[in-house]
Chain A
Amino acid sequence: MRTLVDLKPGETATVQHIADDELGLKLMEMGCLPGCQIRLNKVAPLGCPVCLQIDRSMLTIRRDAAAQVHIS
């Protein structure tokens, strides 16, 4: 199963499911819902956090959180 951390900067994928409930709710509230297109915008120079493009906003989450977001 692929997750957001498997994306390369600039790649886009569809969110399938978020493994962690607490994180999942927060991400969904920010517009990162199952079925949505998410772009991995940038990875911080040291590899963490990662910056996602959701709709028109750029959201930063830590790598461990990004690994909970399953994509296809």
Chain B
Amino acid sequence: MATPDDALHRPRLVALVGNPNTGKSSLFNLLTGLRQKVGNFPGVTVERRTGDLTLPDGQALQLLDLPGLYSLIARSPDEAVVTDVLLDEGHAMHPQAVVLVADASNLKRNLYLASQVLELGLPAVVALTLQDMAERYGIYTDTAALAQRLGVPVVAVNPRTGQGKEGLLAALATPLAPPPRQFLYADAEAYRRLLALAGQPAHKGQLAADTIARYKQLEAITAQVQSQRPSLRQSITQRLDKVLLHPLWGYATFLLVLFAVFQAVFALAAYPMDAIDAGVAWASEALQALLPDAWYTRLLTEGLVPGIGGILVFVPQIAILFTLIAILEDTGYMARVVFMSDKIMRRFGLSGRSVVPLFSGLACAVPAIMAARTIENRRERLLTILVTPFMSCSARLPVFTVLTALAVPEARVWGIFSLQGLVLMAMYLAGSFFALASAWVLKQFVPARGRTVFMLELPWFKAPRWQAVAMEAFVKSRTFVLDAGRVILVISLVLWFLASYGPGQAMDQAEARARTAATLNRATEAEVAAYAATARLEASYAGLLGHALEPAIRPLGFDWRIGISLIASFAAREVFVGTMATIHSIGQDFADEQTLIDRLRQARDPETGQPSYRPSVAFSLMVFYLLAMQCMSTFAIVRRETQSWAWASGQLVGMTALAWLCSWIVFVLLD
């Protein structure tokens, strides 16, 4: 409950309201810079961006960037948040004033929403954006006339150049009066009541009449304030669309873009990833040298530091992929991809809009699943969330790299393509295949509830706004670090405990036995230490769990060692590599993956004498890592986004069962 005292001290709250693609978010970035916070609206998973700014007169202001929408008649959770905030005066985020962002190149439709908000009686300023684009096509707007006609200040701004920023801030600094009542309703309360009942069929007729009458008024206003001069320029968008939406060239371009994005991600991310790996190893060693040999040192150097390293090492790939996706979205290209793929995706119970989450799933499923919020239809959104984790995320890559090296000879196909590279690519394709196929299967069982209308605006092509792109990539990467990272860190610590402690004296006894045996065999000191570490791990709680798991995974060709790695992979899949290194006594001198690959090649099954990691086992394991839901962060985010333990658990069980079945088939066929 806000006390009057609170109200005095709290800075004035101003909300940004506008259509999508009007430059609203860039305006928000321009005004607040890096002084912004991203959170959620209470009770719903709608992103809330707020930021602080100081007006020229020293007054502090809090700015709220509301989700873009076309109308106050809400149809999606995002839109409902906007109407809640604007209609409910008791709402914690109810603003004292609004900035109505309107696109000058499409003024009438932008004023439709603006006029609805003005009817609510909130003090307002209109920020007119994209005037440069409008003028290029011969549309000129008289801002003074528009201000006079609407009865509120109108400021032309260009978020790209920062032009108009001062004017907007100055307008916000002046005391703003409620706008004059000049649209359809005599008092704000009547309009508020109608909007609150908008969902009821009985009001449809009234709302339709409202819309027609409102557009008639807006037609008159735009005719008065805008002039259209003939422009000979053929729009760049139309010319680009001829190619990008072409039945052949359109899809070819898309595949090319996809390929280029992938190349860029892998080529660019390799350098910072190596640096992070080296940094983490250095930090662990430095701490080990600095601190006394005690349990807390091991907690730091074996649990916490590698845990944080395991999160950070993915940040480069994720940041680069999300930057590229943000560029594709910001230029307007992603909307074209949605347009071209909707019909294909619908066969599988998904929507064209599912392309963005599925594509993002190649980086990390956590922000990808959050990106499914833009899908209006409940079933299409749910299916997208359920199948996105099949897309091969960056945490699977190190696992696949090790396993392909084990299973596939280093050969070239037709002298150019590396066979291992082709197998790796096949894994990515298989992930996409399973995502679509399981969506199709789920579609048969999940009932379609309610009707929604698919409507997508194809924005005009424009150059990316680098600041907005950077902000978007930053926010998504931060989501990964905070949401997924937290879970990864906690599980890393739990796993460290499980691997470092065992029942009673079992671990010490096992170590002593291993040391004696190794010394008798005249092993070097390093080898003795490595065998001791393996013996300790086998006797630890994690080892016991691995042994306990063995009967369940034996049919897939996995032994208890792989069992331990599977358990460890619940923190993050790539933990597999490090765990396998410890289990196979690579210990201190675990320098690179090649050491591990060589060691795994030599490992023999003590009972059968067969190689433990023969191709059939490696392929079976790869399939398991591709299909199983081995990521607690994804589980947590699915729970949050679907608001249901049942869907999240169902996904966990279903994916893991599918993984077991497919691995079994692969193992039986190949072995």
Contacts and interface: CB of A to CB of B under 8 A. Distances in A.
A28 B432 CA distance: 38
A45 B247 contact: yes
B338 to A, nearest CB: 8
Contacts of B338: 60
B108 A31 contact: yes
Contact of B245 (A25, A42, A55, A65): A42
Interface residues of B, number: 40
A31 B343 contact: no
B457 A60 contact: yes
Interface secondary structure of A, over-half rule: mixed
B421 to A, nearest CB: 30
B299 to A, nearest CB: 55
A67 interface: no
Given A31-B215, A45-B251, A60 B108 contact: no
A22 B343 contact: no
Nearest to B247: A45
B204 A29 contact: no
A47 B343 contact: yes
Interface string A20-47: 0111111111110110000000101111
Interface string A50-64: 010011111111100
A21 B453 contact: no
Interface in B137-194: 137, 139
A25 B106 contact: no
B211 interface: yes
Contacts of B352: 49
Contacts of A19: none
B664 interface: no
B38 to A, nearest CB: 29
A56 B453 contact: no
Contact of A49 (B201, B246, B342): B342
B71 A22 contact: no
A34 B525 CA distance: 87
B457 A49 contact: no
A42 B106 CA distance: 20
B339 A33 contact: no
Interface string B87-120: 0000000000000000001101100100000000
Interface of B: 70-71, 73, 75, 105-106, 108-109, 112, 137, 139, 201, 204, 207-208, 211-212, 215, 241, 245-247, 250-251, 335, 338-340, 342-344, 352, 451, 453-459
14 contacts: A22-B204, A22-B451, A25-B211, A28-B212, A31-B112, A42-B241, A44-B339, A45-B251, A45-B340, A46-B340, A49-B343, A57-B109, A59-B455, A60-B339
Interface of A: 21-31, 33-34, 42, 44-49, 51, 54-62, 65
